[in-house]
Structure 1
């Protein structure tokens, strides 16, 4: 970025502001000299902009600790991006729980709330529980955006297709949770948001092409292509489990009947029956995963959801099966995010919205 002159003064001014704000946001804290260098603007322009950003509450000068030894000469002015200038919330609305995480503008968690819910609960009661959890988690925080993750195919904030929660299909979730709120509410599919979280803060941070496999009470897939979450034309990319021939509908039955924790504990002790169940499950799982691997050619497959806790007891046999079925071996890892992955992905969805507003070259 270089300092601009001529043309539309308001646009040029905004471009310069965005340059300074991006530099400060990316680094967190910079001296004035570092900020001038990073933004490639003149010192007087940068000083004027950081003053304006300070008035907006987005930046502030970092004062030296009186007890810190000072070097000879005038101390360098240092500024920081105010991560507490606003807050974000991410909500996971599932069959068994509602979880809300609250973060600052860097995505660091500052609060949370949770409620256990019943899979048979009506949509009205589930929404009431969700509102109560959001209220508890966000009390005292000035929200700038709310992200929501839930089961089903999601399009424009609405649940287009869903068969896991009563009365959920057709629900305008963004409208229900956004009514009367001064900030945007964005809604996404739970698996896809868990995929987004894994790419942001999890095992897939350095990968451009990722298959995320959510294996818990059901099996579903999310995709990162070219470093971005891939939704597809209808928001249903990766929903290969609907094909009965893939075998995912019944794949979890024997795992559930044995009990996942008990099953993998038995595998650790070399139990032949448990080993056979896991081998059968991996064989069922691998058909759909291999088809996706052959389509996407990913750098990485990440196993998330409850069964990811099995670690290499699940990842290793899947890795071996994919090596047998696919053209090239593929790296298979388990998620490091645990039960917060969907809510964290919802935070990332909200953060993307806020960062888009902060760095937009047009104001308003």
Structure 2
């Protein structure tokens, strides 16, 4: 049994390596793949025949003959429309559902008001799939993002105050209703994967996302993998605290906003009587009443990002969430100050996917889990 299992593992690894070569270097021939991977031509051909049969790979026609006049090889390409994934981002006020091909191209998308009963969520997803312009049999996986903390060993949703759920095995309740595997994760973590895959991350392997919305969240990707931490709570940047706040007796509790969150979130900025968008618009126009508020925000963001850069050395720090859409007038100031405050240089970008990041990232996560398993 052990030997059989090992052989099957090797086959799966080789299949993934071959598919990766085709995806990254198309058009490419069997001979070129065998040479790149140091595998036999027969092994590569068997794998490719199977991938063609499953429609993951297509033949693109014969390439040029060799310089010695040898037989022309058949060029191969990746077929992103061979399979699809569903992504669901469950927020406090809305559920966003998306369907993409294997390259992350969205072919169907729908937003609905949030429902808090699990059977209603299942029904909404089933209805979404039924209306999709794709045969449901071609859907291979679904990812679901939830604002909450998951046990990384059991997958149980430990706590989601926004949805009023605690200690719920969401996977166990949702997956039996669908003919494909279902994977769940924290919404900010999945948004980071979405930005890395199809947004500002540009597939960088080391990325930190800072999500400025109603509250403040964070996610860490290192060496291409999410960093979850001991209790799956890594990235809680909202609880960053300064020495002065410690001297003032500020206490951080899980059921309350953190110190950093209290200064930079949309909720914190709205306490000045205008929306975050209006606040930054007035600042850009030179309104003196907003100068101190916005410059304090810039300093807080600079300190947080500089410390993140010094600690984690990410290639990119992405600022997302609803507030990020209003930061065009201050992002260059933040970049300049961070560059001065940390020797670890990092590219700082505003998110590109907007509200779609969570659903797109849920699909990226599901595809990643399928490939690894």
Please give the alpha-carbon distance, in whole angstroms, between the structure 2 residues aligned to 1:336 and 1:198. 7
Q: Deviations over 1:275-321 (max 9, x none)?
A: 33322334454555455444324343211111211243242343455
- 1:162 Cα deviation after fit: 2.0
Deviates more, 1:239-248 or 1:259-268: 239-248
> Structure 2: which 5+ runs fail to align?
1-5, 63-68, 240-251
Residue 150 (str. 1) matches residue 146 (str. 2): yes
Conservation of the 8 A alpha-carbon contact between 1:113 and 1:136: no
* Aligned pairs for 1:1-364 within 5 A: 17-62=15-60, 76-117=73-114, 121=116, 125-126=120-121, 128-137=123-132, 140-141=135-136, 142-155=138-151, 156-165=154-163, 167-205=164-202, 207-242=204-239, 243=252, 246-249=259-262, 251=264, 252-253=266-267, 255-256=269-270, 257-286=273-302, 288-319=304-335, 322=338, 326=342, 330-357=346-373
Paired residue total: 340
Q: CA–CA distance in 2 between the matches of 1:132 and 1:322?
A: 46
Return the alpha-carbon distance in structure 1 between the equivalents of residues 142 and 173 of structure 2. Answer: 13
Report the counterpart of residue 244 of structure 2 in structure 1: none
Higher alpha-carbon deviation: 332-341 or 105-114: 105-114
Aligned-pair CA distance for 1:135: 4.4
Does the 8 A contact of 2:309 with 2:345 survive in 1?
Answer: no
Structure 1 138/91 Cα, relative in aligned 2: closer, same or farther at 3 Å? farther
Give 3-state SS (helix, strand or coil) of 1:92's partner: strand
SS in 1 for 2:358: helix
Q: By how many angstroms is 1:327 displaced?
A: 5.7
Query: Secondary structure of the equivalent of 1:249?
Result: helix
Distance 1:53 1:126 in 2: 34
Could you state the TM-score of these two structures normalised by the residue count of structure 1?
0.79
Preserved CA contact (<8 Å) 2:321 2:354: yes
- Structure-2 change in CA distance of 1:158 and 1:57 (3 Å): same
C-alpha distance 277-336 of structure 1, shift in aligned 2 (>3 A): same
Q: Deviations over 1:162-185 (max 9, x none)?
A: 2222x2222322223212322211
Contact 1:30 1:80 in 2 (8 A): yes
Structure 1 stretch displaced more, 108-117 or 177-186: 108-117
TM-score, normalised to structure 2, is 0.77
